[in-house]
Amino acid sequence: MVSAVEVRNISMAFGANQVLSGVDLTIDKGQTTALLGANGAGKSTLIKILSGVYSSFTGEILIDGKVVTIDSPTTAKSAGIETVHQRIDEGVIPGLTVAENLLFEKIVSGEIPRAVSLKTIVNEAEKIAEALDLNWNRSKLRNDVYELGIAEQQMLILARTLSRSPKLLILDEPTSALSVAESQNLFRFIKNLEAQGIAILYVSHKLSELEQIAKKLVVMRDGKIRNEQSAPFSWDLALKEMLGQQELGERDNFKQVQGTSVTLKLNNVQLFKESAPLNLEIKKKEVTGIIGLLGAGKTELAKVIYGADELISGSMDLEGQSYKPAHPADAVIKDIYLVPEDRAADSMIPNWSISHTATLPFMGDFSARGIIKKLAEGIRGKELVQDLKVVTTSHEAFVDSLSGGNQQKVIVGRWLQSKPKLMILDEPFRGVDIGARRDISKRVRDLAATDVAVLVLASDVDEILDVADRIIVLVEGKVVMDVKAGETSKDKIVNKMSEVA
Amino acid sequence: MNIGKLNATNGFDLRDFIVKYGFILVTVILFVWFASTEPTFRMQNTLFSMLKFTSVVAITGLGVTLTMVVGGLDLSVGAIAGLSVTLSAMTMVIYAQTGAVALVVVLLGGALVGLFNAFLIVVLKIPDLLATLATMFTIMGLKLVPVDGQSVSSGLILRDGSVAPGKFTPGFLLIDRAYLGPVPLPVAIFFFLAFVVWIFLTKTRWGRVMYAIGSNPEAARLAGVRVQRYRALAYALSGVFASIGGLILSSRIGQGDISAGNSLLLDAVAVSLVGTSVLGMARPNAWGTTLGAVLIGIVITGLTIKGFPYYAQDVVKGLVLLTALIFSFTLSRRKSRFVPAV
């Protein structure tokens, strides 16, 4: 194999914090190299060095055997390194149409003249969309880019990057917002690019994807490369290296339980304007897992129950009483809590400590005549850190300074201080390393055991199987399967998920 | 800009030091310089008159600070203060009411305009800057209607040819002229309100929640915070603070000057913005605003004593603001998120 990009002895530190030490990495042409590591292992730093975001590192980068200087995103791009970052909103340009976004680089570079009509641009864009198998018609291409769903925005960014034929394409958790079918679409693109001799560096937490797409696996921990393998991979070994001393063990074999009385009843609730009415009973003492692809209505369901979105039609009963939340505050008063899907956008306040983040929903309990009880708040922060084993220097540390898994622990943990009636977790394991995922799963199961109804929504089957007693598959706002977890299998679930409604 | 943030070094960091203490240092140095070169500057009287002069801007700025905390910015404060001057004059001069009645009318007026802002922003969903800009123009014009565009002072000839029956009451004039011990009343009010806002923002649940809203309104909403109520509260309070500033101003001028308050908006916004840079907080805060107001007071008093012309004041204010913005946005490592987008 010929190497496309070679990284030699790269080190980098943020102040006293050594984030990369002596990393050597060879990324071969025409194949996919997977990069695996827990949060904080140094993956992101390495990617940012390659894409020119960080310039204060030591070591060399070679492209096609020649040393190159990469000190800005522009030099990275001209050297042939393209990066698709996890954050989708940073990639699309609001206010422009889908077609203009698709052709943005060409418009900026002048390849497409500025004064050209939208019709011409749409014509061009239609060709690209067709070539890439994006099923986008002309009226869709004329829409404002924000009318696309998150998955389609992701596809747009990918399509734009791929159209530049890079030497190395870095994909940072590219499927975190994609459905299974869309991921398969992406993998087809990747195979295509491999055939053209493009090297791919693929970062993901989803082992099944890596198994499917990668020929080479590189495992990082604490800023160093710990393990390199060629396919077929030993995942056991890779995960042990990734998690360090921590023993991986088997999937937690929890005792499946069955819910007792009904906590929340949904009567003919419509999640989308055109979708079928949904009837559902969520019971206490069990973890209800809802699986569905993107657009199946998981987040919509969570937000309707939490009062964050308006109910289109139908009604809800909470413990036999009519329940009509008009605002999340109404849900919180009834002890219904939500851990939202997008941590950075919907949960975290920048530069807020763990303690402050923990007490925000319950300020009333942490104040007397309006004055905040500092002492109680500090104690609560410490408790949370202990209870969920949050890895941090102190309970006064900023939540944004923690790794993704620990951030999520704080967000989940803050709702556990007051006993919930119904706890909703929307994609609680996204961007969360395996260690943290186990801790959160266990805590959530313990919670259900204390007479609480727990609702977990995710698109990853393994994540749901790891935590749920009852499994519900949602397709386009409709329940297509509702069984005890013990009575089904991964294959059956995936089958149901891909059902066309 | 992100790249610059990464060049952290160990140990003493000049940039961090400047961001944290730069403003306080500048204030102290200027103070020492004026005090050592100008004997009059050293006198207690000058100090208090400087603070007194600053108090209107400072109190109005404290209100602006509250709206900045929830991620907004109230551009109508100068107009509210101006409205307060006219309202107080009308109440006492035209309607011959007591100073106490004027005080109540003014505070109610401020609160009403604040609530109107809140209505525009929260219910009609108009962006903060645009809504308060519209309010500003509206009330600047509206206040002139009942007084036919004239300043209101005793002896004013009314539309029907009669002479206005009342005058500014001695009690009302005392607002600006009275002392609490050695401290002029406006200065006492200023420091009292600064203290109250400080307690409110840093020690109470409401202040905490307001900061959450300013930093990430959606995260606050999903934590069960009734975001819109707090935003409404901030604008109502801002209206009240501006009307308190207007009361002092009115008492100081002693007549319903129609141009009063016109320059107040820029000064009040400036001191709030200057305040965000104090101690490297990179967020609006009560002591920052206070210090910002005092600093501008020191500079202007000092320059006036040194004989600089009046128009130099605006240049200096502009430079002070610019320096503060550089501290907050260019030098600070914290991301400042407290400026509303239009």
The answer as to whether A474 is a domain residue is: yes
Q: Would you call A338 and B222 a contact, using CB atoms and an 8 Å cutoff?
A: yes
The answer as to whether A101 is a domain residue is: no
The answer as to whether A356 is a domain residue is: yes
Q: A110-129, pLDDT tens digit by residue?
A: 777 767 788 888 888 888 88
Instruction: Clarify whether residues A315 and A287 are in a common domain.
Output: yes
DSSP H/E element including A59:
strand A58-63
- The reply to whether ipTM tops 0.90 is no
Q: A315-368, pLDDT tens digit by residue?
A: 999 999 999 999 999 999 999 999 998 888 899 998 899 999 999 999 999 999
Minimum CA–CA partner of B2 in chain A: A53
CB pairs under 8 A between A and B: 86
CA distance A290 to A336: 17
CB environment A88-117: b (16+ within 10 A), e (fewer)? beebbeeebbbbbbbbbebbeeeebeeeee
Does residue B223 belong to the interface with chain A, where contact is any CB pair within 8 Å?
A: yes
Instruction: Clarify whether residues A45 and A74 are in a common domain.
Output: yes
Q: B135-146, pLDDT tens digit by residue?
A: 999 999 999 998
The answer as to whether A414 is a domain residue is: yes
pLDDT at B251 > cutoff 80: yes
pLDDT at B126 > cutoff 70: yes
The answer to whether A221 touches A41, Cβ cutoff 8 Å, is yes
Minimum CA–CA partner of A353 in chain B: B212
The answer as to whether A369 is a domain residue is: yes
Res B325: pLDDT: 80
> Is the backbone of residue A235 left (phi > 0), alpha (psi -120 to 50) or beta?
alpha
Report the residue of A57, A351, A365 to disrupt the B interface, i.e. the one with the largest count of B CBs within 10 Å.
A351
- Where is the domain boundary, A195, A225, A243? A243
Instruction: Clarify whether residues A400 and A451 are in a common domain.
Output: no
The answer as to whether A119 is a domain residue is: no
Instruction: Clarify whether residues A69 and A163 are in a common domain.
Output: yes
Instruction: Clarify whether residues A50 and A157 are in a common domain.
Output: yes
Q: Where are the alpha helices (DSSP H) in B165-310?
A: 170-177, 185-203, 205-215, 217-222, 227-253, 264-277, 286-305
Task: State the average pLDDT over residues A272-287.
Answer: 88
CATH number for A204: 3.40.50.300
Instruction: Clarify whether residues A363 and A351 are in a common domain.
Output: yes
Instruction: Clarify whether residues A428 and A497 are in a common domain.
Output: yes
Q: What is the three-class DSSP state of B202? A: helix
Q: Would you call A351 and B221 a contact, using CB atoms and an 8 Å cutoff?
A: no
Tokens of A141: 């291409």
From residue B35, alpha-carbon distances to A345, B25, B38, B298, B306 in Å are: 50, 15, 6, 10, 11
Residue whose tokens read 């915070």: B225
CA distance B75 to B64: 8
The answer as to whether A118 is a domain residue is: no
Minimum CA–CA partner of A411 in chain B: B223
Does residue B70 belong to the interface with chain A, where contact is any CB pair within 8 Å?
A: no
Tokens of A108: 């900026």
From residue A320, alpha-carbon distances to A122, A261, A262, A263, A437 in Å are: 53, 10, 8, 8, 34
The answer as to whether A102 is a domain residue is: no
Tokens of B59: 């109190």
Instruction: Clarify whether residues A406 and A364 are in a common domain.
Output: yes
- Of A211, A208, A220, give the one whose Cα is nearest residue A244: A220
Instruction: Clarify whether residues A325 and A193 are in a common domain.
Output: no
CA distance A5 to A27: 5
Q: Count the alpha carbons within 13 Å of A422 in the hemisphere toward its beta carbon.
A: 26
Q: Minimal Cα–Cα distance from B216 to chain A, Å?
A: 6
Higher pLDDT, A478 or A165: A478
Partners of A367 on chain B (C-beta within 8 Å) are 204-205
Containing domain of residue A355, as a range?
Answer: 347-418
Instruction: Clarify whether residues A411 and A475 are in a common domain.
Output: no
**Computed over its alpha carbons, how large is the radius of gyration of chain B?**
21
Q: What share of chain B is helix, strand, coil (3-state, %, to 5)?
A: 70, 5, 25
Q: Would you call B10 and A54 a contact, using CB atoms and an 8 Å cutoff?
A: no
Res B4: pLDDT: 37
Instruction: Give the E-state strand segments of A271-310 in sequence order.
Output: 278-283, 287-292
pLDDT at A187 > cutoff 80: yes
Partners of A346 on chain B (C-beta within 8 Å) are 218-219, 222
- Where is the domain boundary, A243, A259, A280? A243
Q: What is the architecture of the domain spanning B54-331?
A: Orthogonal Bundle (1.10)
- Where is the domain boundary, A383, A418, A453? A418
Instruction: Clarify whether residues A10 and A88 are in a common domain.
Output: yes
- Of B91, B95, B122, B87, give the one whose Cα is nearest residue B236: B122
Res B327: pLDDT: 77
Q: B281-326, pLDDT tens digit by residue?
A: 778 999 999 999 998 888 888 888 888 888 888 888 888 888 878 8
Q: A27-72, pLDDT tens digit by residue?
A: 999 999 999 887 668 888 899 999 998 888 999 999 988 899 998 8
Task: State the average pLDDT over residues B99-122.
Answer: 97
Residues of chain B above pLDDT 70, percent:
93
Q: Minimal Cα–Cα distance from A15 to chain B, Å?
A: 6
Partners of B317 in the beta sheet?
A: none
Instruction: Clarify whether residues A83 and A154 are in a common domain.
Output: yes
Positive or negative torsion for Cα B242, B246, B247, B252: positive
Res A121: pLDDT: 85
